[in-house]
A and B are shown apart, each in its own frame.
Chain A
Amino acid sequence: MAQSNIEISQEELQLNPNLKEKPDTLTRIFFRKFFKNKLAVTGSVILFIIIISAVFAPLIAPYSFEQQNLIDKLKPPSSEYWLGTDRYGRDIFTRLLYGGQISLLVGFASVVGALIIGVSVGALAGYYGGIIDAMLMRFVDIVISIPSFFLLITVVTIFKPSVGNLILIFALTTWTNTARLVRGEFLTLRSREFVLASKTIGTKAYKIIFSHILPNAMGPIIVSATLLIGNVILAEAALSYFGLGIQPPTPSWGNMLYDAQNYTVMLSAPWYPFFPGLLILLTVLSFNFIGDGLRDALDPKSID
């Protein structure tokens, strides 16, 4: 019976020759929409290059990130030092590669943490509603009201700023938007027929939450997570720039800028503060381009 419905009559084919092609699947529509977006593709390419160079830093880097050549300090970019050297004669290109590792690691890991907290809180609030929802969401309101940079700095002064602690701190201070978003999605999805149907046949709550509702809410979650990675990278750089984040000699883009904000450096070696900032900018920009592209590509209402 199903067979006869799928078969396309000769008449229909003549009217619409496109029908001959394979039917559209959701994945195909997604990729087609995403690759049509020039900014999203640009962002993906830039980010891919940045990630690859950070991951393979030990293979690509011409020097070690700690190696000091005091004779060669603050050298301008040359064939020997591609992007010049810093105040201790360390190769800036090498340090940027290793700094990328830290920035990306902190960005990705923090967002994974933020997603775990945010999705759990949002799912509980949205699925159960009532008093649980009210209490959890009032707590979210409280955390959101405190300017996140202030909250971050307050917490950073309490803990020692190691990479692990920073990831934990970012996860603990950035989950709130995800929670709000997930709650909203759950509120609309929980009264849909397929959820009601699962409830009627006695499916357990955790199974409804994780295997029925959550997959339907993934689109907006992925988009906001992508944008959040960019924000966390910016915030980490800001903290490290003020000396409150990643501590030297471990290079991070932020603490390279911290080292470069010095009158003599700015007067005689302007390339030094320029490059780390440029990389932060490019990375965050790529995440934002990709996030925006994903938003359009995952939105069933957007024009194909």
Chain B
Amino acid sequence: MVSYIFRRTLMAIPLLLGITILSFVIIKAAPGGPVSMLMDPTLKPSDREKFEEKYGLNDPVHIQYFKWLGNMVKGDFGNSLIKRGVPVSELIMNRLPNTLLLMLVSTFLAAIIAIPFGIYSAMRPYSKLDYTVTVGSFLGVATPNFWFGLMLIMFFSVNLGWFPTGGVATLNAPFSIWDRIHHLILPAIVLALADMAALTRYTRSSMLDVLKQDYIRTAMSKGFKEKKVVLKHGLRNGMIPIVTLFGLMLPSFIGGAAITEKIFSWPGIGSLFIDSAFQRDYPVIMALTVVSAIFVVIGNLLADILYAIFDPRIEY
């Protein structure tokens, strides 16, 4: 097991390097790119040269890459082009807690609703409730989250005034838990929707597989209560593939979080990313692309390792 974890972690390193190379190439391919953002177009050619010299733009491409990579490993992502002089890492660290809070709450929300529905659907496949749950999860996946968010804001915030239209807390108000929760409810619902749908379907199919197995039938025929068999004997094995699902869902989850954050003006890294894209703040865009990809790689790594721990049938 230890050697598996070690090998699996080693495999993540070339992947991470590849991600940095790809991000670097994409930004380098940008016509004009970051340089034209910083440079005053009326610069004299001689000043332009000095400028390029100062920022290392005359170095060969691979040298530029290694410099960038070296700095990034040290946690230095450079400075923002728009907010002059503010380090990108500071921008990210300021907003990261908000994103993590939103993600944790919505994942929790999705799980406590989706898993029971998935289990019940698997217990009574092709029943009315199963059918309703299936159609419901189709709807959840197909609903554009930006539109769903917009509709919630329109009805509950603008027309009914029950919830704030955005932000993490009331401006200039003293800290209060209730105020924070009040701001969190709508974005958490929007972000949870699509995951809830995916999670329900996976739980259902995974539980269906498990409930067909002989040991479940044996337990049932021994006269145990159905509820006990499903929840105690079935769920343990049925939940194993769900662990990997969290790893797989992470990339779309991060994207969904960005959209949700933007709609609710939630000051997290997702809205930072979209704002930076508008302003072509390339250092921030690059840093966030790399950071989010690192999250994904680590998430998948954890999911694989957890899978290996939970499922003793698999040998490595």
Q: Are B251 and A145 in contact (CB under 8 A)?
A: yes
Separation of A260 and B27 alpha carbons in the complex (Å) = 32
Q: Are A157 and B154 in contact (CB under 8 A)?
A: no
Separation of A237 and B150 alpha carbons in the complex (Å) = 13
Q: Are A242 and B274 in contact (CB under 8 A)?
A: yes
Of B134, B142, B274, the contact of A281 (CB 8 Å cutoff): B142
Q: Among the listed stretches A60-68, A135-143, A211-219, which one makes contact with chain B, having 4 or more residues with CB under 8 Å of it?
A: A135-143
A76, chain B: closest CB distance, angstroms? 15
Known contacts A39-B135, A241-B146, A277-B150; 15 additional CB pairs below 8 A are: A145-B296, A149-B259, A150-B289, A153-B277, A154-B26, A155-B26, A157-B277, A157-B285, A158-B30, A158-B31, A244-B277, A244-B278, A260-B150, A285-B138, A292-B138
**A119-166 interface with B by 8 A CB criterion:** 138-139, 141-151, 153-158
Of A147, A244, A273, the contact of B254 (CB 8 Å cutoff): A147
Separation of A156 and B285 alpha carbons in the complex (Å) = 12
B143 contacts chain A at the CB level, 8 A cutoff? yes
Main secondary structure of the interface of B (DSSP, over half): helix
Separation of A110 and B155 alpha carbons in the complex (Å) = 35
Separation of A154 and B154 alpha carbons in the complex (Å) = 30
Q: Are A145 and B277 in contact (CB under 8 A)?
A: no
B273 contacts chain A at the CB level, 8 A cutoff? yes
Q: Which residues of B contact A157 (CB under 8 A)?
A: 30, 277-278, 280, 285
Q: Are B147 and A281 in contact (CB under 8 A)?
A: yes
Q: Are B293 and A145 in contact (CB under 8 A)?
A: yes
Q: Are A150 and B139 in contact (CB under 8 A)?
A: no
Separation of A138 and B259 alpha carbons in the complex (Å) = 28
Q: Are A273 and B151 in contact (CB under 8 A)?
A: yes
Q: Among the listed stretches B12-20, B43-51, B95-103, B109-117, which one makes contact with chain A, having 4 or more residues with CB under 8 Å of it?
A: B12-20
Could you show 7 A-B contacts with beta carbons less than 8 Å apart? Answer: A142-B18, A147-B293, A149-B254, A154-B277, A241-B147, A270-B159, A273-B151
B93 contacts chain A at the CB level, 8 A cutoff? no
Q: Which residues of A contact B148 (CB under 8 A)?
A: 277
A211, chain B: closest CB distance, angstroms? 34
Q: Which residues of B contact A150 (CB under 8 A)?
A: 254-255, 258, 273, 288-289, 292
Separation of A77 and B285 alpha carbons in the complex (Å) = 42
Separation of A266 and B280 alpha carbons in the complex (Å) = 30
Give a binary string over A156-191; 1 marks a CB under 8 Å from any B CB, 0 the rest: 111000000000000000000000000000000000
A8 contacts chain B at the CB level, 8 A cutoff? no
Separation of A274 and B288 alpha carbons in the complex (Å) = 32
Q: Which residues of A contact B9 (CB under 8 A)?
A: none
A257 contacts chain B at the CB level, 8 A cutoff? yes
B158 contacts chain A at the CB level, 8 A cutoff? yes
Q: Are B18 and A138 in contact (CB under 8 A)?
A: yes
Interface size class on chain A is 35 or more
Q: Are A263 and B158 in contact (CB under 8 A)?
A: yes
A165, chain B: closest CB distance, angstroms? 12
Q: Which residues of B contact A230 (CB under 8 A)?
A: 142
Q: Are B142 and A285 in contact (CB under 8 A)?
A: yes
Q: Are A149 and B147 in contact (CB under 8 A)?
A: no
Q: Are B151 and A267 in contact (CB under 8 A)?
A: no
A108 contacts chain B at the CB level, 8 A cutoff? no
**B226-267 interface with A by 8 A CB criterion:** 250-252, 254-256, 258-259, 262
A284 contacts chain B at the CB level, 8 A cutoff? yes
Of B15, B142, B285, the contact of A288 (CB 8 Å cutoff): B142
Q: Which residues of A contact B259 (CB under 8 A)?
A: 149, 238
Separation of A276 and B155 alpha carbons in the complex (Å) = 17
* 9 tightest Cβ-Cβ pairs between the two chains A and B: A149-B255, A277-B147, A285-B142, A142-B18, A284-B142, A147-B251, A158-B30, A266-B154, A147-B254
A262, chain B: closest CB distance, angstroms? 10
Separation of A276 and B252 alpha carbons in the complex (Å) = 23
Q: Are B143 and A288 in contact (CB under 8 A)?
A: no
B244, chain A: closest CB distance, angstroms? 14
B61 contacts chain A at the CB level, 8 A cutoff? no
The residue on B at minimum CB distance from A143 is B22
Give a binary string over A253-287; 1 marks a CB under 8 Å from any B CB, 0 the rest: 00001001101001100100110110011001100
Q: Are A267 and B158 in contact (CB under 8 A)?
A: yes
Q: Which residues of A contact B30 (CB under 8 A)?
A: 157-158
Give a binary string over B101-139; 1 marks a CB under 8 Å from any A CB, 0 the rest: 000000000000000000000000000000000110011
Q: Which residues of A contact B296 (CB under 8 A)?
A: 145-147
A234 contacts chain B at the CB level, 8 A cutoff? yes
**B262-296 interface with A by 8 A CB criterion:** 262, 273-274, 277-278, 280, 285, 288-289, 292-293, 296
Q: Which residues of B contact A267 (CB under 8 A)?
A: 158-159
Most A C-beta atoms less than 10 A away, residue of B138, B153, B252, B280: B138
B150, chain A: closest CB distance, angstroms? 6
The residue on A at minimum CB distance from B280 is A157
Q: Are A153 and B273 in contact (CB under 8 A)?
A: yes
Given contacts A238-B259, A267-B158, A277-B147, contact A141 B15 (CB under 8 A): yes
The residue on B at minimum CB distance from A257 is B147
Q: Which residues of A contact B205 (CB under 8 A)?
A: none
A289 contacts chain B at the CB level, 8 A cutoff? yes
Q: Are A274 and B151 in contact (CB under 8 A)?
A: yes
